Chain A
Amino acid sequence: MSNLLVNDRDQRFILFEQLGMEKLFTTETFNDFSKDDALMILSEAEKMALNVILPTFTDGDREGCTFKDGNVYVPKSYHEAYKKYIEGGWMIANESPEVGGQGIPLVLYEACMETMSAANVSFQMLPGLTHGAGKLIEEYGSEEQKKKYMEKMYDGTWGGTMCLTEPGAGSDVGALKATAKRLPDGTFSITGTKIFISFGDQDVTGNIIHPVLARIEGDPPGTGGISIFIVPKYKINDDGTLGELNDVHTGNIEHKMGIHGASTCTLNFGDDNKCIGELLGNERDGMKIMFLMMNEARLSVGLQGLSLSSTAFEHAVSYAKDRIQSALVWEKKGPDAKPVSIIQHPDVRRDLLWMKSHLEGIRAMNYFTAYAMDMAKANPGEREKWQGFVELLTPVCKAYSSDKGMDICSKAIDVYGGYGYCQEYPVEQYLRDCKIATVYEGTNGIQSLDLVGRKLAMNKGMNIMNMFGEIGATIARAKNIEELKIDAGRLEEAYNALVDLTMALAQFGKSSSFIIPILNASSYLDIFGDVLVGHFLLQAAVIASEKLKAIYQENGAEESKAKKRALVRSNEDVAFYSGKIASSRFFAVEVLCTVKPRCEAIKSEEMVAFEMADESFTC
């Protein structure tokens, strides 16, 4: 029975059957865990999501955040939910027990967070940001700073943010104007304005710790001259109690399309020149340090796309089963034609399978990336390979999951028809909440430039070669299975075209056509994401095919189509595994078949989008 947030059967399939995460439990890093523990943690995460977070979903959106007399108030329901979430130990569950966490594998944490975010993505940002900001101090802070700041962030007493963006410095962080002036005691006086700061102010936690990017007076321009500072909202006395306001003021909050429950603040630092910050890490290492948080945040944003896709799809399927409308088109003329549930109409089914296949593919991709982080941590000998996957896939998880997330949420509204556009049903909010994921943490355009401009060539191209190796292995395995041969062939054709295009881009990059990879970066990321999803779906289909074979044998149904059909109805495993094969097959014919011509199109070196005059856009 679905909880309308996530398909927990698919979660468990990817964790245990596809990734085989039990392998982690044999390593020294994770040998405290067993599969039973993992299942129990997943089940508790589901309870927390359904009973504590989900009740904040609608009122968090309708009530939203308010700004009054310089203070920000988040939806009232967030307070109690946050308390319970912290008590449950979820915020830093994956961190080491030495800092108060439980050290659970990241891939398991990812699955828990998928369920939690599916319940209310904007609520989930508050602990998420606090965790990320605390992590910066854990990694780069002095012992004193950890004691002073991190401990109270990790135990939920104080919140955290990330302060990068300024009115004149969005995608171009290096253009920032925030300034840090040295003070005699070694601290810095911070001045500047940061915008779009999620939970920059809120009334849930007693203090808020801002990691702020700023340039120390006299340091060089550009990203290389940026340092990072810890700036608390309230100063902290030597005994740990809160002192006076640290000259950090909220200018306003944004009125947004979605994530209404997450305040988006303009923060003014040092209006009265009394804002004190402590340097975090070394001077001019600000970007390097912030990238730790940014990379994790990018994966979290990918997860938001996944979570919203998941709950949008679960809702759409459930609605399509219940909603009765129109007789089947091939029976319509018959005198006894009766209206049927819309899931029986071909066009609706197609939409649902489009959603299902993309959803399962991005779930596997996001989990795989988290799993790669676990493997890098647990297997020092293979660290380079696994960390390479993380580097390569981070921009794809972020951009592809959020782009497809938008498509899936949009299709969910289509399934509901006019009702889906109305607030009576939740799907319109999923779409509104999802859109920000394609924008923040580096727009998807920036992500594709990161992929094409940096990640493909990283580690001398070894990362992408390793990924290609994985895809090739999946194709080879699937080709040995009769029922998957055609699907494997379709992935192979798309894969070969992608390899070709990747090589071609590298050549373009070195020649006078260097603009081609830049101009087509987002198309490339989309193609790359499609092939990756095709790979994960086919990999799942191989496993599903083997499992099905065993079940059919057990039930003496190998040769009988009728028996197989009966089993699909009576045996949930048969229904599930058959659905995995269907996802892979549909995606192959629907998406993978388009990859080759799209690659050819890029290789044709068409430059019209670059060359057309600005005037032609506007006249």
Chain B
Amino acid sequence: MNIVACVKQVPDTEAQIRVKADGSGIEEGGIKWVMNPYDEYGVEEALRLKEKNGGEVTVISVGPARVMETIRTALAMGADKGIHVQDAAFDGADAYTTAAALAAALKDLNPDIIFCGQRAIDDDQGQVGAVLADLLDIPHVSLITKLEFADGAIKVIRPIEGAQLLIEAKLPCLVTAQKGLNEPRYASLPGIMKAKKKPVDVKDAAALGVTPAVNMKVVKFVPPPARAAGKIVCGDDPAAKAKELARLLREEAKVI
């Protein structure tokens, strides 16, 4: 089985994000980069599928040189080979362009199943998986929390409000992983050492035959406004204080 896991490198959830003074992006110095947590579920599920049914897991990522670290992490977890789409033209690419690059890189691989995270925790768009499936003309199921494979088809669970859907899909198809799908393994030390010898194919836009199109452009990054100081209602008379609180909620905060 030909299994693919798409991964994105994102700032650590604990990282303190600082917007550049000119608003063109975020300050990358001092940021710790990690694999997008939802993509980790995808990698783990890809590895489990391979361990049960055989096959090969290819991990793919689009991004600058530092992204290699995340690909190596997936290889250390147990993926077999990597593809790194690296081209300055893809820096800051929108979801469509990223998906187009992935599609071009994966086309010849003929994947049976592709795993993506349901969204990346940095820009929170959640589009790449769906667009990629569309470009490859394969079905996709989003936000899965369980996956079973038998007889050339998958059965997955997708939670919806108050219920869950059981969806069957024939391969090839693409799924996006949601929290709860599994508990991702840690890269073991032997895994890290083995990963050094696993092949990673580095491709640029020209090699893929993709012309990055700018469909969406980020105009400016702006930090959220600093939270204003809270107001404490003082006084000795609880009734008067309650009255004042109600007035403030109504007239200033305008919530009642």
Residues of A within 8 A of B (CB): 1, 3, 32, 36-37, 39-41, 44, 47-48, 51-52, 84, 87-90, 93, 102, 104, 570-573
A-B pairs with lowest CB-CB distance, top 4: A89-B189, A572-B30, A1-B14, A89-B188
Contact call A89/B16, Cβ cutoff below 8 A: no
In the complex, number of A-B residue pairs with CB atoms less than 8 Å apart: 54
Contact call A32/B186, Cβ cutoff below 8 A: no
Contact call B29/A93, Cβ cutoff below 8 A: no
Report 23 cross-chain contacts, Cβ distance below 8 Å, ordered by A residue: A1-B12, A1-B15, A1-B16, A1-B32, A36-B69, A37-B192, A40-B69, A40-B192, A41-B189, A41-B192, A44-B189, A48-B186, A51-B186, A87-B186, A87-B188, A89-B188, A90-B189, A93-B189, A102-B192, A104-B189, A571-B29, A572-B29, A573-B29
> A residues within 8 A CB of B69?
36, 39-40
Closest to B33 in A: A43
Contact string against A for B residues 145-179, beta-carbon threshold 8 Å, 1 for contact and 0 otherwise = 00000000000000000000000000000000000
Contact call B29/A44, Cβ cutoff below 8 A: no
> A residues within 8 A CB of B15?
1
> A residues within 8 A CB of B191?
89
Give the complex CA separation of A41 and B76 in angstroms. Answer: 10
B106 interface residue (CB < 8 Å to A): no
Tally of B interface residues using CB under 8 Å: 21
B76 to chain A minimum Cβ distance, whole angstroms, is: 7
Contact call B193/A32, Cβ cutoff below 8 A: yes
> B residues within 8 A CB of A51?
186
B118 interface residue (CB < 8 Å to A): no
> A residues within 8 A CB of B140?
none
> B residues within 8 A CB of A89?
188-191
B198 interface residue (CB < 8 Å to A): no
Closest to B187 in A: A44
> A residues within 8 A CB of B220?
none
B250 interface residue (CB < 8 Å to A): no
> B residues within 8 A CB of A36?
69, 72
Instruction: List 17 additional A-B contacts (Cβ < 8 Å) besides A572-B30, A573-B29.
Output: A1-B14, A39-B69, A40-B69, A40-B72, A40-B192, A44-B186, A44-B189, A44-B192, A88-B189, A89-B189, A89-B190, A89-B191, A102-B189, A102-B190, A102-B192, A572-B29, A573-B30
B196 interface residue (CB < 8 Å to A): yes
B73 interface residue (CB < 8 Å to A): yes
Closest to B189 in A: A89
Q: When A1-B16, A572-B30 are in contact, do A88 and B188 touch as well, CB less than 8 Å?
A: yes
List residues 217-244 of chain B with CB under 8 A from any CB of chain A: none
Closest to A571 in B: B29
Contact string against A for B residues 1-39, beta-carbon threshold 8 Å, 1 for contact and 0 otherwise = 000000000001011101000000000011010000000
Give the complex CA separation of A1 and B18 in angstroms. Answer: 13
Contact call B188/A37, Cβ cutoff below 8 A: no
